[in-house]
Structure 1
Amino acid sequence: MDTNSTTVMNGDLLIAEPYMGDNNFERSVVLVCEHGASGTFGLVLNQLTDIHLSDVIEEVHTDLPLFIGGPVQQNTLHFIHRRPDLIDSSIRVLDGLYWSGDFEQIKKYVNLGTLTERDVRFFIGYSGWSEGQLDAELGQKSWIVSHSNRTSAEFLFETPTKEFWRGVLKRMGGEYKAIAHYPVDPRLN
């Protein structure tokens, strides 16, 4: 069974504890794209916006949705995808899932309809932790860690956004399956 461990690796998911108390991450699941001695970079997978890619990139003519990747630098655009065969300079996060790459190629294939919501997800901003900050939050039990060996690109792209937080916890089983059913406001229970 996965536990809150200070060992976080690329591809792991950080699941916000049910009563974290941070509005930026309430019921969020963060994909760890890069974790190292200098800090951690991740993207919130389940905070959908009403904004589309064509609203922020003039050269794009499709209505792919944007997600909030986190509270840091919300004037930046990031993406994950499942098509390294089309996108040069992609960074492998876990089997079948890649982060970043040649943005000119992304625009081209999105406009051609070759890349769809099933293959690519775009984020405004990101989630970042400086050196030691994430370890401190893990020590305070702010996050549940689901290690990358329990994650698949298919699950990340095919699970409905509104069910994502619960879906990850249910897949973890045991006590986490019970946590998935905690109410948003325990006073309403």
Structure 2
Amino acid sequence: MDFSYNSKEVKVERGDLLISEPFLPDPNFSRTVVLMCEHGEAGSFGFVLNKPSLIKGSDVLEDADPFDAHLYVGGPVQQDTLHFVHRRVDIIEGGEPIMEGLNWGGNFEQLLAHIRSGGVDFTNFKFFIGYSGWEEGQLEEELQQNTWIVYKGTTAEDIFDTDPDVLWKRVLEKMGGKYRVISNYPTDPRLN
């Protein structure tokens, strides 16, 4: 069975998911799913969707009670920054569209006002400390090395409604075929 993950022609686009290969040794990306927010000549940018932290929003923004949503580790770059994606384009202006009904960022003061008033349903938002970034050509090189599997069928349910502990496995299962087989690989092949 051929376990090369991507064809040479695969093109990463905004809204795609990058699924790490099962035995990626980098602890920052082991069994991760990255939402691509930008991919172009200057490089690539996204957020790890399945690495929740123990930190809540009110732990980093003191004047934002009741900000009780847990933050995710979006990646190893600039972990002193806070980012968000959301599916409430009706209440947050100015975000960057990633796909239909999903925006990255937006008017942060507007978001804080909604949080302070108790008007935010946090199941429609994901907040990240840091992000994942690739320099020009770096992601293409990693794709050629089969570091990532590209998933093009992203839905808002993948991002907001799937338990982060099973997201990696669930997306691979949805892809079917050889990817369903990969989804069952043990974390440590020596334990097989």
Cα distance per residue 1:131-160 (max 9 Å; x no partner): 00000000110000001xx11112210000
8 Å contact from structure 1 (residues 39, 132) kept in 2 = yes
User: What pairs with 1:58-137 in structure 2 (closer than 5 Å)?
Assistant: 58-61=62-65, 62-137=67-142
Once the two structures are TM-superposed, the CA of residue 4 in structure 1 deviates from its matched residue by: 6.8
Once the two structures are TM-superposed, the CA of residue 3 in structure 1 deviates from its matched residue by: 5.0
Whole-Å Cα distance in 2 between the matches of residues 186 and 54 of structure 1? Answer: 40
8 Å contact from structure 1 (residues 33, 41) kept in 2 = yes
Q: Identity percentage over the alignment?
A: 50
Once the two structures are TM-superposed, the CA of residue 82 in structure 1 deviates from its matched residue by: 0.3
| Residue 25, structure 1, aligned to residue 21, structure 2 | no
- Of 176, 182, 192, 1:179 maps to 182
For structure 2, list consecutive stretches of 5 or more residues without a partner in the other structure.
none
Amino acid at match of 2:35: L
| Residue 143, structure 1, aligned to residue 148, structure 2 | yes
| Residue 35, structure 1, aligned to residue 18, structure 2 | no
Whole-Å Cα distance in 1 between the matches of residues 97 and 191 of structure 2? Answer: 42
Amino acid at match of 2:119: T
8 Å contact from structure 1 (residues 64, 116) kept in 2 = no
Cα distance per residue 1:78-119 (max 9 Å; x no partner): 000001111111111012211010001111112333222211
Superposition RMSD in Å: 1.4
8 Å contact from structure 1 (residues 95, 152) kept in 2 = no
In structure 2, the CA distance between the partners of 1:5 and 1:22, relative to structure 1 (3 Å rule), is: farther
SS at match of 1:32: strand
SS at match of 1:162: coil
8 Å contact from structure 2 (residues 84, 128) kept in 1 = yes
Match of 2:61?
Answer: 57
Cα distance per residue 1:25-68 (max 9 Å; x no partner): 00000000011110001000000000000000112112110000
Amino acid at match of 1:177: R
TM-score normalized with structure 1 length: 0.95
Once the two structures are TM-superposed, the CA of residue 5 in structure 1 deviates from its matched residue by: 4.7
Aligned residues: 187
Once the two structures are TM-superposed, the CA of residue 20 in structure 1 deviates from its matched residue by: 1.0
In structure 2, the CA distance between the partners of 1:4 and 1:144, relative to structure 1 (3 Å rule), is: farther
SS at match of 2:165: helix
| Residue 156, structure 1, aligned to residue 163, structure 2 | no
For structure 1, list consecutive stretches of 5 or more residues without a partner in the other structure.
none
| Residue 166, structure 1, aligned to residue 169, structure 2 | yes
Deviates more, 1:108-117 or 1:64-73: 108-117
Whole-Å Cα distance in 2 between the matches of residues 68 and 123 of structure 1? Answer: 6
Amino acid at match of 1:186: P
8 Å contact from structure 2 (residues 158, 167) kept in 1 = no
